[in-house]
Chains A and B, each alone.
Chain A
Amino acid sequence: MGAVFTEFPWGVILILLPVTGGILCFLWPQIAKITGLFIVFVVALLVVGLAWQIFNNGVYRHAVGGWGAPLGVDLYADGLSLLMLAITALVGMGVSVYSAAYFKHEQAAQFWPLWLLLLAALNALFLSADIFNVYVTFELMGLAAVALVALAGSREALGAAMRYLLAALLGSLAYLLGVALLYHGFGTVDIALLVERAEPSPVIWAALGLMGAGLLLKTALFPLHFWLPPAHASAPTPVSALLSALVVKASFYILLRLWLEIFDPLVGGAGVEQLLGLLGAAAILWGSVQALRQTRLKLLIAYSTVAQVGYLFLAFPLVAAAGVSAWSAVTYLVLSHALAKAAMFMAAGNLLCFGGHDRITDLDRVVQRLPLTAAAFALAGVSIMGLPPSGGFIGKWLLLEAALMQGRWDLVAVMILGGLLAAGYIFKVLGYAFTQADISHESKAVPASMEWTALLLACGAILLGFLAVPVLSLVGIGDPFGIGEVRP
């Protein structure tokens, strides 16, 4: 029995199942909802299975079709991939349940295939072991995401989707060029092999520059974030949640992988990480200030994402002396932000659905009228602000620890300031949620499942604050950061 579990090719199924599901949903729109939900839950179970496998066997590596490197398609999963898969499954479940109530009729028929496709792309991306494969999944993900944004159908949404499409294509293109250069130079696209073969040369510099720029564009690091707020704000709520929680993280994940495996050994210490850190800091401040200035809730949350992405990049300059805690911090921030941001967007969606608008100043006593949603927003906010007890706090704590170990006071100041600004924009919303608005408006009922999913995801972000030890030990599997045990 155990042997069956440990030998089962979980990873492959993880990718194939959603693809199949997507096609099914596309073909039979009537059963789209049921199928979609079913598939997402099965995917979650599969991730559990994969986790089991990784626990027992260590790092998972599977050559699809038996071809293997240097040219074949390899699947690879270590602790980090596993966590990303897990969070994808978790948020995916939440979003699916939410969407089941959110989308009606026509929209639902379009949503489910796209979403399952996106899920497949994400899973594939997290499992990829070579950079070309990553490109493929990128394209898949980008197209699905753009289509999802456009689902809202409004003029605004279409414009945003167009911009998003251009950014995504540009990013992918740059990335593809980089991949091509690398392949030309070293004859392989497998990450592990590349690491062995690569050596500093103009080719690799150019390749890395192109790939990096493409990824940064997709990750929406300041100042390349221009496409993100409109896209995230105007998309349908479940899509916003997906984009902010997962899609942005996916490109960051690749960046992180490449950085760890290829870039760092080659260009580390050349000031690139300092540049990234600087951009991260700028992103935090800019994003937070912009968020604070917004009058519409979803835009506020979108800018908050820009700021939160900045935190992730703060880790790069800190790695040199405090690798462990910096990377653990990044992992943690990614996880908690995924949960919290998804919850936040859902809460915003509930408010939007409830009052028909998302103007912050006109939130009319929603604390009384939608207590669960307000609680979800507040709990998610706690994590975003980095207040204890929450996943965001743990991440911030680790990051601060790393910064202080190196005496990087500038970064400490940015982090603290970012936290304060975050508190500013979140409580701005909550404050108005308590008071009566000038214009009282019609309210529509919000399905309970939508309220509860938001709340549960937010609770997840809070709970993450108590699970640091198991989660961080999970990350250590397969030693993705190349620094031995996570902490003595």
Chain B
Amino acid sequence: MIASSLLPGLIIFGLAEERVRLRTVLNLSGALVKLVLVGFVLWGVSQGQQYETRLALLPGLELVLRAGPLSLLFVSLSALLWLVTTVYAIGYLEGSPHRSRFFGFFSLCVTATVGVALSGNLITFLLFYELLTLATYPLVVHRGTEAARHAGLIYLRYTIAGGALLLVATVWLYTLTGTLEFTPQGFLDSVGAEQHTALIIIFTLLIAGFGVKAALVPLHGWLPLAMVAPAPVSALLHAVAVVKAGAFGIVRVVYDVFGVEFAANLGVLGPLAWLAAITIIYGSLRALFQDDLKRRLAFSTISQVSYIVLGTAIAGPIAAIGGVVHLVHQGLMKITLFFCAGNLAETLGIHKISEMNGVGRRMPWTMTAFTVGAFGMIGAPPVAGFVTKWYLGLGALQAGQEWVIIVLAGSSLLNAAYFLPILHRAWFQEPPNTWPKEFDFGRKETAWMLLLPPVITALMALAAGLLAAVAFSPLEWAQFIAEQEFSRP
């Protein structure tokens, strides 16, 4: 499965810049093959089959790839969105230089993401996690400007430092337990009480390490800067790859390394929940004051991803559903928003919110998709964000942590405060006579390769909310996962 994106990636590196068609075919076929594979495995797992690959890495330590329910949720998300983003990226980068390099790293990045998703123990996770850092760096600095280099540097500073913390924590954990295998409900039960302080420190280190990518609040500085990257990169970075990998890591740590009960007994989940809550509010507040569209979306991501962390940290089965399902939902909604932002920039040269007056008339489809995404972020039904908020709120009530609801409400309010003015501007203000930099697409509003992806993802976001109760919906999977995590065998 990993190979399906790794191989095209490597081949693409070797391709000459001119071979557009071959590259496109390779890209798309890789994405499609992966999607088919994921579908196959998904079906298999739902039939109770096990998929596992092991490769000895060190004596006693193995590289494990396993297709569990949680992994599959993330894998299907990345496979799906990769396909969409590939189409988008092909359209977006048409005619720009260094596309071979771009798509090569792009594929590598997805490889790493899938690896992160499928990894069956902490060391495998770490391995792919670092690979992800490395694969995204060239994408961030892709434009090759001084600003891009600077952003790349900051990005690396944060992520490499986070990776180092992770490494220490992982090794430490290994010396304490002698295993790193992800197991539902954790594998630390055997550790004696005298080691609990050490475990708390390890937990803190792990969370700090993952928190860098998940952009938890004091560690979020790189994210808004990384917006210099091309739009498909931002989209992928925010929706699937980097930020999500961090959040996914936190989920893994809490569920499959420490185990929810164990972590709750250690007393580490409370502070984590608070941290997530602070991040949610802080991100929204900062987003409120951004005029650059992509920066606003970036801060919104900071806020939204912490929903996942929050759902995990509340430590109740229902909140867990909310957290896990938001992994998918946020991905769908945020990628839509970023696609739309990219479309605006590529079609009309719009980068700032203050330039968006009346853009809904010029690009109705794009803005419709954007609207769906924005409402999802606010958590208005029936878009997917509502389902998340619903389960988080319910979970908080169930766990007796009512303050979370206030945080959620505050966040929704702020979300509304920074998304609705954009929508209002786009739909109800008079358009200017000339756009900042208009490209000609004939009668259509923009190239179809740019238009189709956001519309599709918006539809998916809508469907994920509207059809939440259907079998194989993200919600159903999340429920399945939560059952596994919370029921003692």
Does A touch B (CB under 8 Å) in the complex?
Answer: yes
Per-residue CB contact flags for chain B residues 94-129 toward chain A (1 = under 8 Å, else 0) read: 000110010000000000000000000001001100
A434/B131 in contact, CB under 8 A: no
- Stretch in B169-177, B186-194, B312-320, B365-373 with 4+ CB within 8 Å of A: B169-177
Contact with A397, one of B58, B98, B134, B163 (Cβ below 8 angstroms): B58
Nearest chain-B residue to A485 (Cβ)? B59
A388 and B131 contact, Cβ closer than 8 Å, known pairs A367-B138, A401-B171, A435-B144: yes
A431/B175 in contact, CB under 8 A: no
Bin the interface of chain B by size: 35 or more
Q: List 25 A-B pairs, Cβ < 8 Å.
A: A378-B134, A382-B134, A388-B131, A389-B127, A396-B167, A400-B167, A401-B171, A404-B171, A412-B168, A416-B168, A420-B161, A423-B160, A424-B157, A427-B160, A431-B149, A431-B153, A434-B141, A434-B144, A435-B141, A466-B55, A468-B59, A469-B58, A472-B58, A472-B59, A486-B59
Nearest chain-A residue to B145 (Cβ)? A435
Q: Is A371 close to B, CB under 8 A?
A: yes
Nearest chain-B residue to A388 (Cβ)? B127
Q: Is A89 close to B, CB under 8 A?
A: no
Q: How many residues of A are counted as interface, with CB atoms below 8 angstroms from the partner's CB atoms?
A: 43
Nearest chain-A residue to B62 (Cβ)? A469
Q: Is B454 close to A, CB under 8 A?
A: no
Per-residue CB contact flags for chain B residues 35-55 toward chain A (1 = under 8 Å, else 0) read: 000000000000000000001
Chain B hits for A247, CB < 8 A: none
Binding site for B on A (CB under 8 A): 365, 367-368, 371, 375, 378, 382, 385-389, 393-394, 396-398, 400-401, 404-405, 412, 416, 419-420, 423-424, 427-428, 430-432, 434-436, 465-466, 468-469, 472-473, 486-487
Chain A's nearest CB lies how many Å from the CB of B280? 30
Q: How far is the CA of A436 from the CA of B141 in the complex (A)?
A: 12
Contact with A387, one of B130, B148, B157, B172 (Cβ below 8 angstroms): B130
Per-residue CB contact flags for chain B residues 141-169 toward chain A (1 = under 8 Å, else 0) read: 10011101100110011001101110110
Q: Is B418 close to A, CB under 8 A?
A: no
Q: Is B282 close to A, CB under 8 A?
A: no
Chain A hits for B63, CB < 8 A: 466
Chain B hits for A382, CB < 8 A: 134
Per-residue CB contact flags for chain B residues 71-112 toward chain A (1 = under 8 Å, else 0) read: 000000000000000000000000001100100000000000
Q: Is B57 close to A, CB under 8 A?
A: yes
The 5 A-B residue pairs with the shortest CB-CB distance in the complex, in nearest-first order: A388-B127, A487-B59, A400-B171, A423-B160, A469-B56
User: Which label, helix, strand, loop or mixed, suits the secondary structure of the B interface?
Assistant: helix
Q: How far is the CA of A428 from the CA of B150 in the complex (A)?
A: 10
B168/A400 in contact, CB under 8 A: yes
Nearest chain-B residue to A396 (Cβ)? B167
Q: How far is the CA of A164 from the CA of B42 in the complex (A)?
A: 63
A387/B171 in contact, CB under 8 A: no
B149/A432 in contact, CB under 8 A: yes
Q: How far is the CA of A387 from the CA of B146 in the complex (A)?
A: 26
B55, B58, B60, B174: most-surrounded residue (chain A CB, <10 A): B58
Q: How far is the CA of A27 from the CA of B164 in the complex (A)?
A: 53
Chain A hits for B98, CB < 8 A: 368
Chain B hits for A375, CB < 8 A: 13
Chain A hits for B58, CB < 8 A: 394, 397-398, 468-469, 472
Q: Is B137 close to A, CB under 8 A?
A: yes
B167/A397 in contact, CB under 8 A: yes
Chain B hits for A416, CB < 8 A: 164-165, 167-168
Chain A hits for B148, CB < 8 A: 434-435
Contact with A435, one of B134, B149, B172 (Cβ below 8 angstroms): B149
B131/A423 in contact, CB under 8 A: no
Chain B's nearest CB lies how many Å from the CB of A471? 10
Known A368-B97, A412-B168; further 7 A-B contacts with Cβ < 8 A: A368-B101, A378-B134, A388-B130, A401-B175, A416-B167, A419-B160, A436-B144
Nearest chain-A residue to B156 (Cβ)? A427
A420/B160 in contact, CB under 8 A: yes
A388 and B126 contact, Cβ closer than 8 Å, known pairs A400-B168, A401-B171, A420-B160: yes
Chain B hits for A401, CB < 8 A: 171, 174-175
A365/B144 in contact, CB under 8 A: yes
Nearest chain-A residue to B133 (Cβ)? A387
A431/B59 in contact, CB under 8 A: no
Nearest chain-B residue to A322 (Cβ)? B175
A419 and B164 contact, Cβ closer than 8 Å, known pairs A397-B58, A469-B58: yes
Q: How far is the CA of A428 from the CA of B13 in the complex (A)?
A: 23
A431/B152 in contact, CB under 8 A: yes
Q: How far is the CA of A436 from the CA of B147 in the complex (A)?
A: 12
Q: How far is the CA of A403 from the CA of B155 in the complex (A)?
A: 29
Chain B hits for A386, CB < 8 A: 167
Nearest chain-B residue to A470 (Cβ)? B56
Chain B hits for A419, CB < 8 A: 160, 164, 167
Q: How far is the CA of A385 from the CA of B174 in the complex (A)?
A: 21
Q: How far is the CA of A385 from the CA of B130 in the complex (A)?
A: 11
Chain B hits for A427, CB < 8 A: 137, 152-153, 156, 160
Chain A hits for B174, CB < 8 A: 401
Q: How far is the CA of A69 from the CA of B174 in the complex (A)?
A: 45
Q: How far is the CA of A227 from the CA of B167 in the complex (A)?
A: 34
